[in-house]
Amino acid sequence: MPDFPKTQYAVQLVGPSKLQLNTAKPIAQPGPHAIMLKMEAVGLCFSDLKLLKQFSAHPRKLEVQAGLSKEVLGEIEGYVPGEKPTVPGHEVVCRIVAVGEKVTRHKVGERVLVQADWRELRTAGSNGAFGYNFEGGLQEYVVLDERAVVASNGQRYLMPVGEKNGASAVALVEPWACVEASYVNAERNTLKPGGKTVIVAAERDTSRPMEWGVDGLDLPYAPEGKPAEMRVIKPAEAAGLANEGWDDIIYFGADKAVLDVLNDKLATRGIINVVLDGKKIGAKVNVGVGRVHYGMTRWIGTTGSCPRESYKVIPATGEIRPHEKINVIGAGGPMGQMHVIRNVCAGAAGVTVVATDMDDARLASLEKKVAGMAKANGVALRLVNTAKTKLDEKFSYYALMAPVAALVGEAIAHSGEGTIINIFAGIPAPTKHELDLDTYLLNRCFMFGTSGSEIGDMGIVLQKVESGKLDTNASVDAVSGMAGAIAGIAATENRTLAGKIIVYPMLHNLGLTPLVDLPGKFPTVAAKLDNGQWTKAAEEELLRAAAQ
């Protein structure tokens, strides 16, 4: 391998809320399976803050339990689960500068976009991820292992990209792909083939399956087959079920205490189906709203008696529908802006978008970016500061950008028939909140969440960027080198900037610089902006001017 520097600048997370700039972090020594990457640009993400706060408790900072052997994991220097310090930063574009002798799928010189969620590397609560239990991009060089970054179907987590677009535009494909994933994610609307189903019902009620047996129920089986295991139990036996052990739970009843217990029995990507048969729960239920996002659990039900009816509530995807009335809550932030832009440009007929935030400056920034798009696409757009103006109206679609469990309850309280609630913000996985399931089920609502993106989602967004259909630089609000990266993370946490912050790791001494400050600090860079928007030309000039 060619010679590289022995040390580098890096931002390290060494404990909960403990970030430090290391100006002499050793660069990992590449082994035979190694791929050495030189970072071009890194976008800062609100998800970085979840890692910052939770550190070793974050589900993607846990040890990998499946997908790679302990022996292989032990050979990867950048594998840092648990209490080991890590390097955050997962929105990156970089270039392969060296490979080991056993690397077969990657070559020196390739420019690549990192798909950060390595979903086949399972942890106890999620999956392995770049920037979490594998060191991420807030450093000059990263050494990865080819055995970790190629999926079992042959797809590469290091996606080749062209040279046409600037580094910031490509790095921002990742967060835009997370937005895209939340709308195109396919939802299951049958019992899981080969999974585990438990039916919970009173024993002596003649209308219930304890009398009928499983075959007497009108259940939706998938074309691929039935569940591998199906059990029927009494409500009193629910506490004895394994936690997170059941792919489908069908509960005939309306007892809050039973529902509180069943919540913990739902497996990752599991569905709980509450069949009320005309009854009412009469009290709010303690629902694991954090797992709706991180565990992709789903709650459905019916006020009637047929469990099949509940599955009809589930939409094919999280996509917006024609004539949707959408409330994007937290719309002024970086991800909220992306949701608003995405929905304004989705092409659905008769759509109304109400973008809410509690900061006038953030809303003004959003309006400047999106008002023209809304007019061009025939979308009715309203921007509302809910700190000043209370919204008391119903919406058919909610997109929640703030990781606040109470917002889910408020969305249910203001739901209409068929309301969809997109829990996009990562409410911490263990979080539960008391929800009015009576209203939720009566209105046939559906709440869902997605976490991260998959290779296909990134491919969709990358194609839009490379074809010129989407300019992800519309999201950029500030730039920085390593000297300002920690301040950038603080700005993300404190929501002092409306858009995305891009860090250029090769610029050691550049502090956090909002685009509006460029005329005074780097006038030659400011001259390359397009009506105040970040561009490839501005990026190239910054890399020249700030390196001097």
479 within 8 A of 513, measured Cβ to Cβ = yes
Secondary structure, 3-state, 221-245: EECCECCCEEEEECHHHHHHCCCCC
Structure tokens at 182: 């939340």
Helix boundaries (H) for 86-208: 167-171, 173-184
Q: Rounded distance, CA 165 to CA 167, Å?
A: 7
Task: Please work out, in degrees rounded to the nearest 5, the angle formed at the alpha carbon of residue 82 by the alpha carbons of 78 and 87.
Answer: 40
% of the chain beyond a pLDDT of 90: 86
pLDDT of residue 1: 54
Would you say residue 470 has pLDDT above 60? yes
Cα–Cα separations (whole angstroms), residue 502 to 11, 33, 240, 347, 537: 14, 30, 50, 29, 15
CB neighbour list of residue 391: distance below 8 Å, 6 or more residues apart: 327, 354, 356, 384, 414
pLDDT at residue 469 in the model: 84
Query: Measured between alpha carbons, how far is 89 from 43 in angstroms, rounded to an integer?
Result: 7
What CATH fold (topology level) applies to the domain 196-311?
Rossmann fold (3.40.50)
In whole angstroms, what is the distance from residue 240 CA to residue 260 CA?
A: 13
Instruction: Please provide the distance, in angstroms rounded to a whole number, between the alpha carbons at the two ends of the chain.
Output: 29
Q: Is the pLDDT of residue 112 over 70?
A: yes
Assign 208 a pLDDT band (cuts: 50, 70, 90): low
Residue 111 pLDDT > 80, yes or no?
Answer: yes
Q: In angstroms, what CA-CA distances link 162 with 97, 110, 170, 469?
A: 16, 9, 9, 16
Q: What letter does residue 171 receive in the DSSP assignment?
A: H
Q: Does domain 1-165+475-511 have CATH number 3.30.700.30?
A: no
What is the CB neighbour count within 10 angstroms for residue 126? Answer: 23
What is d(CA 542, CA 193) in angstroms, rounded to the nearest whole number?
54
Query: Most distant CA pair in the chain: distance in Å?
Result: 82
Q: Is the pLDDT of residue 106 over 90?
A: yes
Residue with more model confidence, 3 or 164: 164
What band does 497 get if pLDDT is binned at 50, 70 and 90? Answer: confident
Average pLDDT over residues 449-469: 89
128's enclosing H/E stretch is: strand 127-129
The pLDDT value given to residue 213:
61
pLDDT at 138 over 70: yes
Instruction: Give percent of the chain with pLDDT exceeding 70.
Output: 97
Q: Tell me the pTM.
A: 0.85
> Residue 206's pLDDT is what?
46
Residue 45 Cα to chain centre, angstroms = 10
Residue 137's pLDDT band (cuts 50, 70, 90):
very high
* pLDDT tier, 203 (very low <50, low <70, confident <90, very high otherwise): low
CB 254 within 8 A of CB 246: no
| Structure-token pair, residue 235 | 């409500």
How high is the pLDDT of residue 212?
53
Question: Can you tell me the distance from the alpha carbon of 178 to that of 296, in angstroms, rounded to the nearest whole number?
Answer: 14
Mean pLDDT of all residues in the chain? 94
Check whether 392 has a pLDDT greater than 80. yes
DSSP letters, 367-434, are: HHHHHHHHHHTT-EEEEEETTTS-----EEEEEE-S--THHHHHHHHTEEEEEEEEE-S---TT--EE
Could you tell me if 79 and 3 are in contact, meaning their C-beta atoms sit under 8 angstroms apart?
A: no
3-state secondary structure of 522: coil
Place of tokens 């040279």: 163
Determine the Cα–Cα distance for residues 176 and 466; give it in Å rounded to an integer: 14
Whether the pLDDT of residue 168 is over 70: the answer is yes
Summary count for the chain: helices (H), strands (E) = 17, 25
SS3 470: coil
Mean per-residue pLDDT for 379-385?
98
Rounded Cα–Cα distance for residues 46 and 199 (Å):
39
Task: Check for a shared fold between 1-165+475-511 and 325-448.
Answer: no
Residue linked to tokens 């996002």: 293
330: left (phi over 0), alpha (psi -120 to 50) or beta: left
Three-state SS annotation for 393-405: CCEEEEEECCCCC
What is the C-alpha separation between 186 and 421, in angstroms, rounded? Answer: 15
Domain definitions of the chain by residue range? 1-165+475-511, 196-311, 325-448
Give CA–CA dist 69/57, Å, rounded: 22
Residue-wise pLDDT for 515-532, tens only, equals 999 999 999 999 999 989
Q: Give the whole-angstrom CA distance, residue 281 versus residue 256.
A: 6
Q: What is the mean pLDDT of residues 15-43?
A: 95
Q: What is the pLDDT of residue 517?
A: 97
Alpha helix positions (H), 225-347: 256-263, 289-294, 307-311, 334-344
Q: How far apart are CA 32 and CA 307, in angstroms?
A: 54
Q: Does domain 325-448 have CATH number 3.40.50.720?
A: yes
What's the distance, CA 83 to chain centroid? 23
